[in-house]
Amino acid sequence: QKVSVEVLEHLEHLALVDFRDAEGVERLQKAIQFADQLHEVNTDGVEPMDSVLEDRWCLYLREDDVTEGNCTRELLENAREKVEEYFVAPPGNIPLPKLEERETFLQGS
């Protein structure tokens, strides 16, 4: 299933993700194919839920016991981009190409 330029532009603005390269478009198409499987599930007579835990009156919390710590340096090694000791996320607010530029790219994919 091909993704239209309009849908691509809308998703880029919602997610603040740039799908300009072929890999990004391919990942998006695979995600859509995966999600399309939900249309095959028969939901006749199933009422929407507010929460998967709506049948419980209260939620029981466990104690928050810290078992490990002091691993900031190791965690930040996983960051694609960081500023001081913070992850930079999302990689959004990027200048997106004009609609005409993207049409040219999509025709080549």
What pLDDT is stored for residue 98 in this prediction?
A: 62
Q: How do residues 3-47 score in pLDDT, each as one tens digit?
A: 788 888 888 888 777 777 788 788 888 888 898 898 899 989 988
- Taking the C-alpha atoms of residue 82 and residue 70, their distance in angstroms, rounded to an integer, is 18
**Is-contact 18 93, C-beta < 8 A?**
no
Extents of the domains making up the chain: 1-41
Q: How far is CA 6 from the centre of its chain?
A: 18
Burial of 23 per CB tally in 10 Å (0-12, 13-18, 19+): exposed
pLDDT-based confidence at residue 101 (cuts at 50, 70, 90): low
